[in-house]
Amino acid sequence: MTIHYKKNEVAMSLFLAIFWLAIGILNFWLFERLLLGITWIVLSGLYFVFYTNQVKNQYLTIEEGMIKQNWPWGKKIKLEEINSIQHAKEKYILKTEKQVMKIKVNLIEGKSLAELNQVLDKLDVEWNDRP
């Protein structure tokens, strides 16, 4: 199961990539600031990579009893090892004996959030409304 980003979150990454590219080109050609232009173009490239990752992999993947954050250095937690879930402001905090995973709820699409809640409700763990 894939937990998707909100569409406006993905669109914002694309907008920022294009924006920084435009700033880089303006600095490079119009204002003749070579180093500053290259810096903005490199930043734009990083945002394009981030956008591509968001579109291709989405936010979370839940499969084979694991929940995985789909970004570089994202965490993996086995669902059976989760001891408690805290619902803090705009995020879930999943805790095991060794790890803590924070899931930003405000980044998740509505339908995917309902699916995530169903998976988490099936777990026999303690829910805390506030940390």
pTM: predicted TM-score of the whole model, two decimal places: 0.83
pLDDT tens track, the chain, 131 positions: 999 999 999 999 999 999 999 999 998 888 788 888 899 999 999 999 999 999 999 999 999 999 999 988 889 999 999 999 999 889 999 999 999 999 999 999 999 999 999 999 999 888 887 54
CATH code of residue 100:
2.40.50
Residue 81 CA to residue 68 CA, distance in Å, equals 13
In terms of domains, do 53 and 70 share one?
A: no
In terms of domains, do 45 and 80 share one?
A: no
| Separation in Å, CA 61 to CA 58, 70, 75, 113, 116 | 8, 7, 11, 12, 10
Angle (nearest 5°) at CA 80 between 91 and 125: 55
Range of the domain at 97: 64-128
Residue 55 CA to residue 53 CA, distance in Å, equals 6
